[in-house]
Chain A
Amino acid sequence: MTTTTEHTFTYGDLPRLMGLMTGDEKHGPAATSTLDALWVLYDRVLRVTPDRADDPARDRFLLSKGHGPMAYYAVLAAKGFLPVDWLEGFGSYDSPLGHHPDRVLVPGAEIGSGSLGHGLPLAVGTTLGLRARGLTDPRVWVLVGDAELDEGSNHEAIAYAGPAGLEQLHTLVIDNASASYARPGGIAARFEAAGWSALTVDGRDHEALYAAYTAPHAGRPHAVIARVEPKSV
């Protein structure tokens, strides 16, 4: 497997990388809803690299919303976790890259996802496990969609993690207003009511994302709600 790259990829390369999967360099909001949030996370926040992919002390990123993973694969390829030449096979029988990611097949993927509502409970357990091993430095991030939050399993995880004070846990909610029933009071209020720290930002604004990702939240888990263009438009 070749994970070394001739040149360093930048944010500007991502549309081309996504184009390798879809044959189209112009992508709609739905395909790129996670792109900026993921890029800022991998580029500036997560302390994980391909050569640290098995390091117990690495930061963990769990993609819970496994639908439409092209942006995720593009970012993983740009950061050298997987070879760029894998992208063209996207979804084919011989490709490790499916329309939902499989952690057993995709280097750098911490979980396999597709069925909604599994990532956050897994992230809770991963956070507990790191703490039990005395690894209090690594942070655990999980990305969910706003509609995915409808799943009851997420509410079990949110309601537990706040009072349990899981400071290492971070939830990134991509809010493209795709839930059929908007959450009364907004998404941040749901997390705050459960004792989380929560910030809502423009999901296209890299500086705002970075500031929200790195905001202090002593003793509490942290949620960042990244608002992007509504899916239905």
Chain B
Amino acid sequence: MDTMRDRFAPVMTRLLDEDPRLAVVLAEIGLDGFKDAMRAHPDRVINVGIREQLLVGAGAGLALAGLRPVVHTFASFLVERPFEQIKLDFGHQDVGGVLVSAAASFDWPEGGFTHMSPGDVALLDTLDGWTVHVPGHPDEAETLLRHAVAAGDDKVYVRLSVQANATPMPVDGAGFHTVREGRRGVVVAVGPMLDQVLAATEGLDVTVLYATTVRPFDAAGLRRAVGGAVAADVVLVEPYLAGTSTAAANDALVEVPHRVLGLGVARRELRRYGRVEEHVRAHGLDAGSLRERIGGFLG
């Protein structure tokens, strides 16, 4: 199977042909896929070199000039390094754009912690008005990229990862999707976590919601699912920093006595290389660990 990132350049290349308002900004990373697009649209495929502050600032400048910028590099360099540019150049200037990251929480474990960004979504959560898409399959990534580009002047983050589920789900760029229904609680699986969550909850009497658009958080969807359960017990399984959406779930359930368990990538730095599956296991996000933790919580 190809990766979400493999889809990025071909999808954007087609969209660049279709939409004269669209521009792609790169900082060396991901450049190879845009060679044809760069020839066809030299003014709208821009490589600023290894300059991430300029990458984001120039993206926002394109928006000030009336374009729809799509800004891409690894999550660490897109969200973390130039964070103030995201906050001020898009937020404070009140302009829109699409940030598309790759490398996610630990897509390249051999590369070590410098190329890991489990905190990206939590960081964006400190800002107002960002839509956050976390696709769980390359097909979903393609759909959500198209939603992001077409979302007027909205500020949208799309998080691409090599972690993926075996089969795509229908995604609409908005609410959560009910995959399984049960009565003992609600498990929210975000993006690439779905396969592990379904395996972990096999035979358990729980509702599983699938979330690929996590901001805005589908509070109504969560409340509906909780309404069908015996107790308002919610487990969030996120492929990034554990607890990132716990506050959003708590806010959604403020009228109901409830419990929330937030599972995801631990804050502690592992200082390990290796393979993605080894990191999934180390953070307790494999099906076996998840079954133990979800089962223990729901009792």
Tell me the A residues contacting B by CB distance below 8 Å. 56, 60, 102-104, 110-112, 115, 117-118, 120-133, 135, 152-153, 156-157, 159-160
Contacts and interface: CB of A to CB of B under 8 A. Distances in A.
A132 B70 CA distance: 14
Given A56-B66, A115-B88, A118-B85, A156 B53 contact: yes
B140 interface: no
Quick one: which of A60, A156, A157 has the most chain B CB within 10 A? A156
A123 to B, nearest CB: 6
Contact of A103 (B61, B69, B94): B94
B89 interface: yes
Contact of A126 (B51, B64, B88): B64
Contacts of B44: 132
A71 B164 CA distance: 55
Nearest to A104: B94
Given A125-B58, A127-B61, A129-B67, 4 more contacts: A125-B25, A132-B44, A135-B65, A159-B49
Given A118-B88, A122-B57, A132-B44, A159 B62 contact: no
B270 interface: no
Contacts of A160: 48-49, 51, 54, 58
B61 A128 contact: yes
B64 A111 contact: yes
Contact of B64 (A110, A152, A156, A159): A110
Contacts, number: 104
Contact of A121 (B23, B61, B92): B61
B65 A121 contact: no
A20 B94 CA distance: 29
Contact of A112 (B23, B56, B93): B93
Contacts of A103: 93-94
Secondary structure dominating the interface of A: helix
A128 B94 CA distance: 19
A131 B48 contact: no
B60 interface: yes
A121 B54 contact: yes
A156 B81 CA distance: 14
Contact of B43 (A56, A110, A132): A132
A156 B48 contact: yes
A111 B54 contact: no
Contacts of A60: 64
Contacts of A152: 53
A135 B51 CA distance: 26
Contacts of A128: 23, 43, 46, 58, 61-62, 65
Contact of A122 (B43, B67, B93): B93
B84 interface: yes
Contact of A115 (B48, B61, B84, B94): B84
Contacts of A125: 25, 57-65, 69
A132 B64 contact: no
A131 B43 contact: yes
Nearest to A135: B65
A202 B25 CA distance: 38
Contacts of B48: 124, 156, 160
A127 B57 CA distance: 12
